[in-house]
Chains A and B, each alone.
Chain A
Amino acid sequence: MKRLFEFLESRASLSSLWRAFADEPVSVRRAWFFTLGSAALVALLVQFATGFALALAYAPTPDHAWESVKAIQTRLPAGALVRGFHHWGASAIVVFAVLHLARTFLFGAYLKPRELNWLVGVALLLVILAFGFTGYLLPWDQKAYWATVVGTRVPAALPVVGPAASRVMAGGAMVGAATLTRFYAVHVVLLPILTLGLVAAHLLLLRKHGHAGPTSGPDQRQPFFPYQAARDAAVGLALVILLLWLAARHPAPLERLADPTDTSYVPRPEWYFLPLFQLLKFFKGPFEPIGTAVLPGVSMLLLALVPWLDRGASRRPRDRRRVLAVGGAGAILLLGLLYFGALDTPKGNVSGLDPASQPPPDARLLGGLASYDRRGCASCHGTDGRPGAAPAARTITLAARGHALLGEALAAHVKEKSVKAPATEEGGENLDKDIPSLLAYVEALGKDGPRFSALPQPIRVGGAAIDREDCRQCHQLYGEGGRKGPALQHLLGKRDRDWLVAHFKEPKKLVPGSKMPSFRFLQDAELAAMSDYLLAVP
Chain B
Amino acid sequence: MVTRRTFALAAIGTALAAASAVSGAVLAFVLGPLRRRAPQEPALLDVGPASAFEALRAGASPPEEVFVERAVEDGYMTRRVKERFAIVRDGRAASGLAALATTCSHLGCGVSWDRGRNAFLCPCHGGVYGPDGAVLAGPPPRPLTRLPLVVIGGRVQLDASALDA
Contacts and interface: CB of A to CB of B under 8 A. Distances in A.
Interface of A: 62, 146, 149-150, 152-154, 157, 164, 167-168, 170-174, 176-179, 181, 260-263, 265-267, 277, 280-286, 288, 291
Given A150-B107, A288-B106, A267 B74 contact: no
A168 B72 contact: no
A150 B109 contact: yes
B69 to A, nearest CB: 10
A281 B125 contact: yes
Interface string B113-133: 000000000011110000000
User: Considering the complex of A and B, which 9 residue pairs feature the smallest CB-CB distances, nearest first?
Assistant: A178-B75, A176-B74, A263-B112, A266-B123, A150-B107, A149-B108, A281-B125, A153-B108, A261-B84
A172 B164 CA distance: 10
Interface residues of B, number: 34
A286 B141 CA distance: 6
B58 interface: no
Contacts of A176: 72, 74-75, 79, 81
Given A171-B33, A177-B74, A261-B83, A153 B110 contact: no
Contacts of B65: 263
B34 A164 contact: yes
B103 to A, nearest CB: 9
A356 to B, nearest CB: 20
Contact of A263 (B81, B110, B138, B141): B110
B72 to A, nearest CB: 7
A179 B76 CA distance: 11
A167 B34 contact: yes
Contacts of B60: none
Given A171-B33, A173-B72, A260 B81 contact: yes
Contact of B123 (A178, A267, A288, A291): A267
B112 A171 contact: no
Given A178-B74, A267-B109, A277-B125, 16 more contacts: A152-B108, A168-B31, A168-B33, A171-B33, A172-B73, A176-B72, A176-B74, A177-B76, A177-B77, A177-B79, A181-B75, A261-B67, A261-B83, A281-B138, A284-B138, A288-B139
A288 B104 CA distance: 14
Contact of A285 (B82, B107, B141): B141
B22 interface: no
Given A174-B72, A178-B75, A263-B84, A288 B141 contact: yes
Contacts of B107: 149-150, 153-154, 280
A260 B33 contact: no
B30 interface: yes
Interface in B20-71: 30-31, 33-34, 65, 67
A261 B139 contact: no
A172 B50 CA distance: 34
A62 B135 CA distance: 33
Contacts of B75: 171-172, 176-179, 181
Contacts of B84: 260-261, 263
A146 B107 CA distance: 10
A258 to B, nearest CB: 11
A284 B139 contact: yes
Nearest to B124: A267
A181 B32 CA distance: 14
Contacts, number: 98
7 contacts: A146-B109, A150-B124, A174-B72, A174-B74, A260-B81, A281-B126, A284-B138
Contacts of A164: 34
Contact of A150 (B79, B81, B108): B108
Contacts of A286: 141
A168 B102 CA distance: 23
A165 to B, nearest CB: 10
A62 B73 CA distance: 14
B123 to A, nearest CB: 4
Nearest to B75: A178
A179 B72 CA distance: 14
Contact of A167 (B33, B82, B110, B112): B33
A459 to B, nearest CB: 23
B37 to A, nearest CB: 10
A176 B123 CA distance: 21
Contacts of B79: 62, 176-177
Contacts of A267: 109, 123-124
The residue in B67, B83, B102, B109 that gathers the most chain A C-beta atoms within 10 A of its C-beta is B109
B124 to A, nearest CB: 6
B125 A149 contact: no
B141 A157 contact: yes
A261 B110 CA distance: 8
A285 B102 CA distance: 18
A113 B11 CA distance: 35
The residue in B72, B108, B141 that gathers the most chain A C-beta atoms within 10 A of its C-beta is B108
A178 B106 CA distance: 22
A527 to B, nearest CB: 19
B82 A261 contact: yes
A291 B138 CA distance: 13
A264 B74 CA distance: 25
B63 to A, nearest CB: 13
A475 to B, nearest CB: 25
A168 B34 contact: yes
Contacts of A260: 81-84, 110
Contact of B33 (A149, A178, A266, A281): A178
Contacts of A263: 65, 84, 102, 110, 112
Contacts of B123: 265-267
Contacts of B108: 149-150, 152-153
B110 A173 contact: no
Contacts of B77: 177
B165 to A, nearest CB: 9
A177 B109 CA distance: 18
A511 B79 CA distance: 19
A260 B111 CA distance: 11
Interface in B135-150: 135, 138-141
A280 B82 CA distance: 28
